[in-house]
């Protein structure tokens, strides 16, 4: 008989884990993210540093173009799960990173590879073009 696990012990829906095996023991399990995560000024650097490839969406709740590209960001997060981490940072609550990166208009997407800024997109862009930019830095 199979028993249902309590909710707190089940992996979150949409996320699986990838473990690193060394001599049969799991060193660390890291979730495979298939949707954007929300970051703040405080955890932004950690997310960029700890993930090989991160695309950060600088956005705001009141920004219509930000809402227009949100489904594209969600779809790309699913399509490139395990290869790219998509993160969103809200301009109204997190001014430090906006100032640090000179973000003057939203939406702005910053592409980080191995902790270094490698590309940026300012404004809304069609899905096919945005996906080309994502793929360009997969390496």
CATH of the domain at 95: 3.40.30.10
Six-digit token string for 119 = 């590309």
- Let me know if residue 3 belongs to a domain: no
Q: 75 in a domain, yes or no?
A: yes
pLDDT band at 139 (very low <50, low <70, confident <90, very high): confident
Q: Is residue 92 part of a domain?
A: yes
44: Cβ–Cβ under 8 A, 6 or more apart, which residues?
A: 56, 87, 89, 94, 97
In this structure, is residue 79 part of a structural domain? yes
Three-class SS of residue 47? helix
In a domain, 56, yes or no: yes
User: In this structure, what is the dihedral angle of CA atoms 123, 37, 29, 131, given to the nearest 10 degrees?
Assistant: -30
Range of the domain at 69: 33-136
Q: Which residue has the tokens 């945005």?
A: 130
With cut-offs at 50, 70 and 90, classify the pLDDT of residue 30.
low
Of 63, 77, 121, 134, the catalytic one is 63
pLDDT reading at 13 higher than 70? no
Q: Which two tokens stand for residue 102?
A: 């000179």
Q: Is residue 128 part of a domain?
A: yes
How many structural domains comprise the chain?
1
Q: Is residue 13 part of a domain?
A: no
Is 49 part of the annotated catalytic residue set? no
Tell me how far apart the alpha carbons of residues 18 and 102 are, in angstroms, rounded to a whole number. Answer: 35
pLDDT at 32: 79
> Hunting for tokens 């590209």 — which residue is that?
69
Whether 63 sits among the annotated catalytic residues: the reply is yes
Q: CA quadruple 116, 108, 103, 122: dihedral positive or negative?
A: positive
DSSP 6: P
Token reading at 73:
């960001």
* 66 found inside a domain: yes
Active-site residue, from 48, 54, 55, 66: 66
Chain mean pLDDT for the chain: 84
What number is the average pLDDT over the span 32-57? 96
């Amino acid at each position: 008989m199979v028993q249902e696990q309590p909710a707190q012990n089940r992996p979150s829906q949409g996320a699986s884990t990838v473990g690193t095996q060394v001599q049969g023991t799991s060193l660390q399990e890291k979730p495979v993210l298939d949707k954007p995560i929300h970051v703040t000024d405080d955890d932004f650097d950690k997310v960029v540093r700890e993930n090989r490839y991160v695309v950060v969406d600088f956005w705001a709740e009141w920004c219509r173009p930000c809402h227009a590209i949100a489904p594209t960001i969600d779809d790309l997060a699913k399509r490139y799960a395990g290869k790219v981490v998509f993160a969103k940072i809200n301009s109204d609550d997190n001014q430090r990173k906006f100032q640090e990166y000179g973000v003057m208009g939203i939406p702005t997407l910053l592409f980080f590879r191995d902790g270094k800024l490698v590309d940026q997109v300012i404004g809304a862009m069609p899905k096919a073009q945005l996906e080309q930019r994502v793929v360009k830095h997969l390496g």
